[in-house]
Structure 1
Amino acid sequence: MKISIIGFGWLGKPLAHHLISKGHQVMGSATSEEKVNLLQREGLDTVLLKLCPHPEGLGFQKLFDADVLLINVPPRTRSAAPSFHPEQVKFIKAMIERGTVRKVIYVSATSVYPDLNQVAREEDPLTKSSTGNQALFDAESLLQNDATYALTIVRFGGLLGVDRIPGRYFSGKDNVVGDTPVNYIHRDDAVSMLTWIITKELWGEVFNGVAPLHPMRSQVYEKNAKDLGFAPPQSYAEPGQNAWKEISANKITKTGFEFSIPDPLDFWYEG
């Protein structure tokens, strides 16, 4: 198949290499000429596309001459208004409608679920007032409404592994939340899951992308510190003070998908 990936970043680049190894024709985008040149030198067909939120770049129209389009654009929720990411998606949708794309995967996140101290599942009703992430909720809704394509939404938990080490972010810090369950997925499994959805033609669905086991945050941070030789958190916050959610992975596993690293305590890192 011809597959386009908007966002050849930390997840998109290894996904591209994996899909190419499966025989697919893959092209994608990066947000600077420097990144485009680096990716092209790696053998990846890459064009320049910045979503500001309107599209700027060079030759990006050919991304929409594909069978499958994967939208992998992390929302800048801290540095931009909640309306910025949906505006980016609105422009992408307009370009999809002018192209040949008939199947779309939108990479969302489990932050769309509110923290209600319970298990969260794909069928849980979400509204603009109840969502945990307005930008992602609005972007999902925009892509779902009046769609001219088959859409699958993947809500990933924390994308970790390789050089993203959760314990390192909290090394030596005080008052760290440690008593809530993690909702993580290793990058290897995220790549495999997206490939699985494309290969098995799992369209018109919403899937959570999280490892099926959910150790406590303190367990992960302490194990990272011990395994990789840095300081654990200096102290933890009082237990029971922070709202949480545990994201169910049952729906994707029922399709036959198997996680290679189901336990975040076993994630591998590059140190």
Structure 2
Amino acid sequence: MRYLILGCGWVGEFVAKLWLEEGHEVWASTTTEEKYHRLVADGIFVFKQNFDEQATPAIDLPTDFDYILVSIPATNKSTQDELTSRFIRVCDFLSGVKYQKMIFLSSIGIYPDVSREIDEDTFEDEELQAKLLSAEKAISRFPRTHIYRLGGLFGQNRIFAKYFQSKVCSTGDQPANFIHLEDVAALIRAGFIKPLQHTLYNVVCPQHPSKKDVILASAHKYGFEQPSAFIAGASFQKIVKSTRLQNDLNYTFQYESPLDF
């Protein structure tokens, strides 16, 4: 199989190495010289491409892939104009290649902060975060494309307690809508090789303990300092469900709960 990863960040690099171990051919874009050389050393066919700039694609890039993973970020840190320009260039690039299936990595940050259980059909478009939605709609115009809305992503050196050492935590009462890197990678790989019945999927652990409990569990497990205090803050009870993806792929999570991270 020949895979293409556009925007080979933390998730992309992890998945790329798994595909290489399986004997697949992997191509990937990056924006930095340092990552370019690191990915080349791993055996990945790498090309530098910054979709915030008008760049010329690599001359030797194939035009035919089996599967494409798009992991170009769309965040609130960017302006709408910046995101529009970025994804116009991404779409221009994609229009020049052939593929069997494509997965775009989005975020559950697209959902409003409300106290309710949320699935993929809970909200109308006008209720969703406009910037993230614009990126999803740009990519979803392509056929055989599926969108994964990822929860808070942890694993390897990303440990929740690390970010609250000796700090005041005001979000401890909120449910954790998290996902482990290894489950994300497994769901991406399964999503390419197995049939997917829907366009849109949430990717979140089935269990939703409080963030306070996750902080305390990971602090104990990895030896981090606990927060200096937990105080009452914005305590909306937002729970994002990923039942659709579990059912479509008949998938059993490696990490059912963020307490296991």
Query: Normalising to structure 2: TM-score of the pair?
Result: 0.92
CA distance in 1, matches of 2:174, 2:88: 35
CA distance in 2, matches of 1:14, 1:222: 27
> Which SS does the other structure have where 2:184 is aligned?
helix
Per-residue deviation, 1:260: 0.8
Contact 1:49 1:56 in 2 (8 A): yes
The 5 Å alignment of 1:29-178 reads 29-52=29-52, 54-56=53-55, 59=58, 62=61, 64-78=63-77, 80-128=78-126, 130-131=127-128, 133-145=129-141, 147=142, 149-178=143-172
Per-residue deviation, 1:118: 0.5
Work out which of the residue numbers 241, 244, 251 in structure 1 matches 2:244: 251
CA distance in 1, matches of 2:73, 2:57: 21
Gaps of at least 5 residues in structure 2 are none
- Give, as a single letter, the amino acid of the residue that structure 2 aligns with 1:99: V
| 1:211-253 superposed Cα distances (whole Å, 9 cap, x missing partner) | 11111000011111112222211112226x4334111011111
Contact 2:101 2:192 in 1 (8 A): no
Per-residue deviation, 1:141: 1.5
Indicate how the Cα distance of structure 1 residues 169 and 95 shifts in structure 2: closer, same or farther if over 3 A, else same.
same
Q: Report whether the alignment pairs 1:218 with 2:212.
A: yes
| 1:59-109 superposed Cα distances (whole Å, 9 cap, x missing partner) | 17826531221110122422x213322432221112222222342211000
| 1:120-150 superposed Cα distances (whole Å, 9 cap, x missing partner) | 101223323x11x3221111112234x3x21
CA distance in 2, matches of 1:60, 1:123: 42
Contact 1:64 1:99 in 2 (8 A): yes
Structure 1 stretch displaced more, 181-190 or 135-144: 135-144
CA distance in 2, matches of 1:64, 1:85: 25
CA distance in 2, matches of 1:151, 1:125: 21
> Which SS does the other structure have where 1:169 is aligned?
helix
Please, what is the CA RMSD of the aligned residues?
Answer: 1.9
The equivalent of 1:5 in structure 2 is 5
Contact 1:215 1:264 in 2 (8 A): yes
| 1:24-81 superposed Cα distances (whole Å, 9 cap, x missing partner) | 32111111122111210111111111111x4426517826531221110122422x21
- Give, as a single letter, the amino acid of the residue that structure 2 aligns with 1:73: I
Structure 1 stretch displaced more, 228-237 or 190-199: 228-237
Contact 1:150 1:203 in 2 (8 A): no
CA distance in 1, matches of 2:169, 2:9: 32
> Which SS does the other structure have where 1:46 is aligned?
strand
> Which SS does the other structure have where 2:224 is aligned?
coil
CA distance in 1, matches of 2:156, 2:59: 30
CA distance in 2, matches of 1:202, 1:60: 33
The equivalent of 1:264 in structure 2 is 258
CA distance in 2, matches of 1:82, 1:170: 31
Query: Normalising to structure 1: TM-score of the pair?
Result: 0.89
Per-residue deviation, 1:156: 0.4
